[in-house]
Amino acid sequence: MDAIRKQATKLREQVARQQQAVLKQFGGGGYSSSDNVVTDEEELQLYQKLEKLYTSTRSSKHFQRDIVRGVEGFMVTGSKQVEIGTKLSEDSRKYGLENSYTSDTTLSKAAFCFSQARSQLEKERETLLKSLNTVIVEPLRAMVVGSALEDARHLAQRYERMRQEAEVQAIEISKRQIKLREVPGNIDSSLKLEAAETKLQELKSNMKVLGKEAVAAMTATEAQQQRSTLRWLIAMVESERSYHQKSLQIFDQLVAEMVSERQRVEAFPSSIMDDPVPPPPSYEEASGAYSSQTIDGSTASVYFLGEVVHSYQAESDVELNLSIGDYVVVRKVSNGWAEGECKGKAGWFPYGYVERRDRVLASKIAEVF
């Protein structure tokens, strides 16, 4: 449509120049140029400014549409990523819960931590998508189809039509002037020429007023487009920046937890593998332990509450199953093994699998018995 409009304007200008050339050829006094009749320097500047404003507002409108389409596409892709990430989070959580009683719970704990972090990430992504829709897409779309720009363009189009009408009227005046020179003193021709000139003056006056109104409206619309679009672009960047900052914090925390667990577990089993403990003593062999207080020798009678830091699967009836996080009453230690009670059951387990705790919640102590 804009290309057709430009082409029509060029054709009108060509026709006007050709008509002026013909009028000059048959020349004479009076109005020999319709362009001079219709325009002056002020009106020409007004017309050129309006053309530039029309082009500028059209480009801004297209840019706003591009932003809306781009963000909408980003939102569609983001929604799919949320769906995939949420499924991954659920699968990881399921694995972590269902495999928390294996002999080595490192992976299950890492899976559970990953599940929680992934869930937080997808919530942040959902928040970002909602923000982009509310802060960017909806107001931009409303401005693109809003009445402010269309009203300003309507004024510009009315001005253009009136300008064309004034050009036609100027040509009509030139024709009547030629007829009057051919038949001097013709009263009817004189009256018609005078009426045409009066109408042209009215058109020029109205055209100037309408042109100023159109320029003012287009200028205000352009300024609003520029300010609003820049504000929305900044808001979009800030929303994404906030999302990535929060995501980075989540990832940093997750990596720290997983690396710490890996280092602790890798360091702990290695010491056990390098120096494996002998089989647990029987109760008969350790029956004299209560009278001894030497841990480094063979056995010692000690009473303290320990927290399980590495799971252990019993391999005989005299051994005790342990899970990370359990609390055990340690009653004696013998050759790298400890005897104690956990959740109402007693047995032997590797002494290095527990750590002494001086302060424990009452609820945890109740769990031991």
User: Of 114-118, 291-295, 330-334, where does the model show the most confidence?
Assistant: 114-118
User: Tokens 């009678």 label which residue?
Assistant: 301
> Which one has a higher pLDDT value, 23 or 88?
88
Residue 364 is predicted with a pLDDT of 53
Residue pair 330/270 in contact (Cβ under 8 Å)? The answer is no
143-156: per-residue pLDDT in tens? 988 888 888 889 88
pLDDT, position 37: 45
Instruction: Name the CA radius of gyration of the chain, rounded.
Output: 45
pLDDT tens profile 172-214 = 888 888 888 888 878 888 888 888 889 989 988 888 899 899 9
Q: Is a pLDDT exceeding 90 seen at residue 78?
A: yes
pLDDT in tens, 18-70: 555 544 443 433 333 344 445 678 888 888 898 999 899 999 999 999 999 99
Q: Is pLDDT of 248 > 60? A: yes
pTM passes above 0.75: no
Model confidence at 228: pLDDT above 50: yes
* Residue range 317-322: mean pLDDT, rounded: 89
pLDDT band at residue 351 under the 50/70/90 scheme: confident
What is the per-residue pLDDT for 38? 54
* Percent residues over pLDDT 70 in the chain: 75
Average pLDDT, the chain: 80
Q: Where do the H-state alpha helices sit in the chain?
A: 2-25, 34-38, 41-98, 106-132, 138-144, 147-182, 187-274, 362-368
Structure tokens that stand for 120 in this block: 């937080």
Q: How far apart are CA 340 and CA 349, in angstroms?
A: 8
**Which H or E element spans position 307?**
strand 299-308
